[in-house]
Structure 1
Amino acid sequence: MQVATANETAGWTGDETLNVWQDFFWAAAGALLLTFSFPRPDMGQLAWVGLVPLMVLSLKTTPKRAFRVGYLTGVLHFLVLLRWVASTIHQYGGIPWVAGVAALVLLSLYLGLYMGLFAWGLARWRRGGLFVLCFAPLFWVALEYLRTKALTGFPWGLLGYTQHKHLALIQLADITGVYGISFLVVLVNAALALFVRRVLDRADWHRSAGWGGPIVGVGVAGLMVVGAYAYGTLRITQVEEAQEKSPTLSVAVIQGNIDQGVKWDTSYQLSSIETYQRLSAEALSKAPDLVVWPETATPFYYLHPADRLLTRMVNRGLAAGECDWILGAPAAERAGEDWNYYNRAYAVTSQGAVIGSYDKVHLVPFGEYIPFQKLLFFVKRLVVSAGNFSAGTKGDTIKGWDWQVGVQICFESIFPELSVASVRSGATLLVNLTNDAWFGRSGAPFQHFNMARFRAVETRRALARSANTGISGFVGPAGRVLSSTALYEEAWRVEALPVMTLTSLYVRFGDLFAWICVGLTVLLGPVIGGIRAMND
């Protein structure tokens, strides 16, 4: 193992008191750059240098210190990025502020581990410029993929999402998923970190060979980014040409803007239904083929005998147009002596006939169910808003007379495998029903919307998104936003969406790229790095 020399350690740490403040400075600098890369303020260009402070330090110090600074960087970053968690749990979960803040802190402490492990790995297995250039992006993607899967998964704020504005660049996602974009961003960070480190190594400036690695690194990273842009430019042209030749389906999305504080108040049920019917009547003037309401837009158990009068009221509104409808609603079904509850999307004709449904597959932990209930039996007392919902079947789609859609409800849109599964089942359109009122006016609604855009690129399917308080809108198969609404307004939009049948490499092979990164990380780090350490 390569260990920092005494001079390196002294030059970067100093006494223990100074060391603490230095560590906090490096962590705060990195966290600030990364957090500002996401909406809002959505300065995605900062992501290309956001990891440089952490990587420069990790390549110059001990694994223990690198982990400490990386962990602190991650915790600070997620505390700010996910600040809406505290207010959501307090305001809508019915628990004190202190519990909401505690939940945010615990979540950030967990997510910070991934960045801490990244910094530790760089310090533990650093072997020279070109090795770092290869290892850093591989290791980062492996950790992002682990975060997507571990403990039910929480892939919110993956680094590749910061580049949603760069339409040509994100086309790479139809091969690699969002992980390929993260790979490129970390590759550039690694190249710049090697260059900065070389500049800081003043004692070796006169060694001409010492500049070879950093210069090659910057060149390789630059060529790969240029190659990604070239590929993306070509793919946009190809996809949009195919889009022009495809049949279309006219889709309307309705944004009712129902206050989350009164959404489930029975005294507001009628007014909520009337709001959606009024907005839908306006949208019907454009003669859509399909009208989409948001997640749980009907604040009652649609079709349940106990709510038959409200169901009839909704169905009378559906009869106003000759089209099909997708409605978000909770559902309850008998299971012996018990009940099973579902977060469901119903497909209904204008005559009130149910032609299909989709039940949410990836439920929100502590919001729709309690994970590890036997172990966390005490949590149920704290999270009063948690339901006891059952999950649907991955890959289910909804079929109409001349359409077949893959549905994602709420944050299912941040899990690529769900949209991929629906496309493999025959979906030619994606529909996202959500209620982002929980997020308030934070950056989260913008982050959520732009993460959903990547599902369109990955699957080469147009996306219709209906959100209670926004952002609602449409995304083309190349990830281009066709139209969208503002937050917290009553609105509707209608768009003719292409019905695509292209099969992307990502749909065909799934997360193969991420798995390759996992395999190469193990090979380059613990295996090769461990063998070399034994030989040192």
Structure 2
Amino acid sequence: MVSLNDIAVWRGESSSRIRSELFWACAGALLLTFAFPGPALGLLAWGALVPLIVISLTSDPKRALRVGYLTGVFHYLALLRWVVGTIHQYGGIPWIAGIAALLLLCLYLGAYVGGFAWCLARWRRGGLYSLVLAPVLWVALEYLRTKALTGFPWGLLGYTQQDALALIQLTDVTGVYGLSFLVVLVNTALALCVVHGMGQNGDGHSGSGWGTPVLAVALAAACVGGAFAYGTHRMAQVDEAQGKAKALKVAVIQGNIDQAVKWDAAYQTATIKTYQALSTEALAKEPDVIVWPETATPFYYLNPVDGLLTREVNRGLAKGDADWILGAPAAERAGQGWRYFNRAYAVTSEGAVIGSYDKVHLVPFGEYIPFQNLLFFIKRLVASAGNFSAGTKGDTIRGWDWHAGIQICFESIFPELSVASVRSGAGLLINLTNDAWFGRSGAPYQHFQMARFRAVETRRALARSANTGISGFVDPVGRVSGATDLYEEAWRVASLPVMTLTSLYVRYGDFFAWLCVAMALAFGPVGGGIRRRFL
């Protein structure tokens, strides 16, 4: 028979356990979030997962799942808090709906961190086995997040290392997933030391001797050291190739047009004049190409309906001898209706269109409604939801003496799009975006952070033109130059190398991520026999 005293003890233990789990979940979430912009304290990432991994290696899978899931939800609530303001202010929906949307997104994303913790607790077998299992699982789940549903690879763990210039050179082989692997590898090695200090060996049982944790730290240090050595060597190679490459002088224009008036017809002429005035200043530097941001022309450029505005833009183009890349919406006849595109036009100073690129990866619920048969009601909730059509993956824009791969808006967070454009012959990358949606949150910095990696992965220089910032340039080893501040009218000009160097990542894509997926399956749900026989 259970006594009242037994019930009181059970309640006390339960309350203490809940407080402990919440504490460690919050601690891990804050460390992870602080590793990203802002404040971009990337060193924190190397220890942010230690509490969660320790719990996963010393607790039952259910507890690991709870702590992991809470860690993920809290982390993404902090990292993506800008979502609420974005969809309220510019999506035209109430605050409460914006909060609900953020919560639903974070509940979904938290499942990946929870799944990592559960799998690690479920399939652990002690020291060195867990040392490999943890980073393999993490990368496999990150890759799943990149591909599942419409894909949302925002804030992958490897991005926290943007300022470790030698280390990020590894991405020209593995993509950003290789950095995520290293970060989790180090976290796991440190966690194994903690676990041993608790008197266990990493599989929930007691153990003795420091041989395994010391070896784990040594292996992790060797891997990180090897990555730094590779990066140092590779930077020298790429810098030598840059010095021999043809240079193209590119100007990026930052108009700083308020999103609240951007599409107001009364401000269209003023918007054009702002971009023309900034471009005239940039023309004094004699650029070969001038880039305006995503939808910089807030009308259908070249459409007869907006003929007066098109002619006004073209009069400005004629002021200098340069090619232009202009962001604009486009409309084309399709049977009895119309098809709409988020487009970048390449135009000469004489007003001749020499190429165009249509955005391939559209923003769900912003530029189109995914799964419309199931989510038919969404259109009523999101007043500004567009109905755009997607372009063709791998399309590029070719000028008379240049060939560029284009990224529009958050296409820069999908590496396969940049890879496809380089495979199509692009010698440099150009990113047009409008980050006014994000306000003064951490999102513009996070967005620029991810775009930076596309240059390193493909070994192509990147020019970025953003409506409200951050605009600037990234060279093929990841160095940033000419970065603008947020919310300023600005222009920048830089000579960029037109590269022909081909990286392993461009050749083979996400082979490293697929290898981690295969290893995760071998270690986990389909690998029981393998583990029993060989491990």
CA distance in 2, matches of 1:219, 1:534: 27
Map of 1:355 onto structure 2: 354
Task: Report deviation, 1:528.
Answer: 3.1
Map of 1:73 onto structure 2: 71
Alignment of 1:103 with 2:136, yes or no, is no
Task: Report deviation, 1:280.
Answer: 0.2
Task: Report deviation, 1:210.
Answer: 2.7
What is the SS of the residue equivalent to 1:90?
helix
Alignment of 1:483 with 2:482, yes or no, is yes
Task: Report deviation, 1:209.
Answer: 4.7
CA distance in 1, matches of 2:534, 2:322: 71
CA distance in 1, matches of 2:90, 2:360: 23
CA distance in 1, matches of 2:503, 2:189: 30
CA contact (8 A) 1:254 1:280 kept: yes
| Structure 1 unpaired stretches of 5+ | 1-12
CA distance in 2, matches of 1:494, 1:151: 39
Residues 322 and 381 of structure 1: CA distance in aligned 2, closer, same or farther (over 3 Å): same
Alignment of 1:16 with 2:14, yes or no, is yes
2:25 to 13, 21, 27: 27
Alignment of 1:165 with 2:126, yes or no, is no
* 1:78 counterpart letter in structure 2: Y
Map of 1:455 onto structure 2: 454
* 2:370 counterpart letter in structure 1: P
How many residues are treated as equivalent by the alignment?
522
Alignment of 1:337 with 2:336, yes or no, is yes
* 2:490 counterpart letter in structure 1: A
Task: Report deviation, 1:203.
Answer: 11
CA distance in 1, matches of 2:451, 2:29: 24
Map of 1:3 onto structure 2: none
Task: Report deviation, 1:140.
Answer: 0.4
Map of 2:405 onto structure 1: 406
* 1:160 counterpart letter in structure 2: G
Map of 1:42 onto structure 2: 40
Deviations 1:60-95 (A, max 9, x none): 111111111100000000001000100000000111
CA contact (8 A) 1:428 1:500 kept: yes
Residues 216 and 388 of structure 1: CA distance in aligned 2, closer, same or farther (over 3 Å): same
CA distance in 2, matches of 1:203, 1:479: 40
* 1:230 counterpart letter in structure 2: A
Map of 1:316 onto structure 2: 315
CA distance in 1, matches of 2:294, 2:428: 17
CA distance in 2, matches of 1:334, 1:82: 38
* 1:93 counterpart letter in structure 2: G
CA contact (8 A) 2:192 2:201 kept: no
CA contact (8 A) 2:199 2:207 kept: no
CA contact (8 A) 1:125 1:529 kept: no
Q: TM-score, normalised by structure 1?
A: 0.95
Q: Please give the residue correspondences for 1:136-175 in structure 2 after superposition, counting only pairs within 5 Å.
A: 136-175=134-173
Residues 534 and 403 of structure 1: CA distance in aligned 2, closer, same or farther (over 3 Å): closer
Q: Please give the residue correspondences for 1:203-352 in structure 2 after superposition, counting only pairs within 5 Å.
A: 209-352=208-351
* 1:85 counterpart letter in structure 2: V
* 2:94 counterpart letter in structure 1: P
Deviations 1:189-232 (A, max 9, x none): 0000000111122899xx99531111000000001001000000
CA contact (8 A) 2:127 2:201 kept: no
Task: Report deviation, 1:483.
Answer: 1.9
CA distance in 1, matches of 2:218, 2:532: 29
CA contact (8 A) 2:247 2:496 kept: yes
What is the SS of the residue equivalent to 1:433?
strand
Map of 1:526 onto structure 2: 525
CA distance in 1, matches of 2:387, 2:464: 26
CA contact (8 A) 2:522 2:530 kept: no
Task: Report deviation, 1:14.
Answer: 7.6
CA distance in 2, matches of 1:464, 1:535: 50
Task: Report deviation, 1:525.
Answer: 1.5
What is the SS of the residue equivalent to 1:374?
coil
CA distance in 2, matches of 1:534, 1:502: 44
* 2:349 counterpart letter in structure 1: S
Residues 529 and 128 of structure 1: CA distance in aligned 2, closer, same or farther (over 3 Å): farther
Q: Please give the residue correspondences for 1:115-194 in structure 2 after superposition, counting only pairs within 5 Å.
A: 115-194=113-192
Task: Report deviation, 1:527.
Answer: 2.8
CA distance in 1, matches of 2:186, 2:406: 35
Task: Report deviation, 1:533.
Answer: 8.1
Deviations 1:237-289 (A, max 9, x none): 11011101111000000000000111011111010000000000000000000
* 1:483 counterpart letter in structure 2: G
CA contact (8 A) 2:201 2:208 kept: no
Q: TM-score, normalised by structure 2?
A: 0.96
* 2:442 counterpart letter in structure 1: G
Map of 1:8 onto structure 2: none
Deviations 1:399-422 (A, max 9, x none): 000000000000000000000000
Alignment of 1:444 with 2:443, yes or no, is yes
CA distance in 2, matches of 1:194, 1:448: 34
CA root-mean-square deviation: 1.7
What is the SS of the residue equivalent to 1:41?
coil
What is the SS of the residue equivalent to 1:294?
coil
Residues 208 and 339 of structure 1: CA distance in aligned 2, closer, same or farther (over 3 Å): closer
Task: Report deviation, 1:35.
Answer: 0.3
CA contact (8 A) 2:88 2:95 kept: yes
What is the SS of the residue equivalent to 2:345?
strand
Map of 1:503 onto structure 2: 502
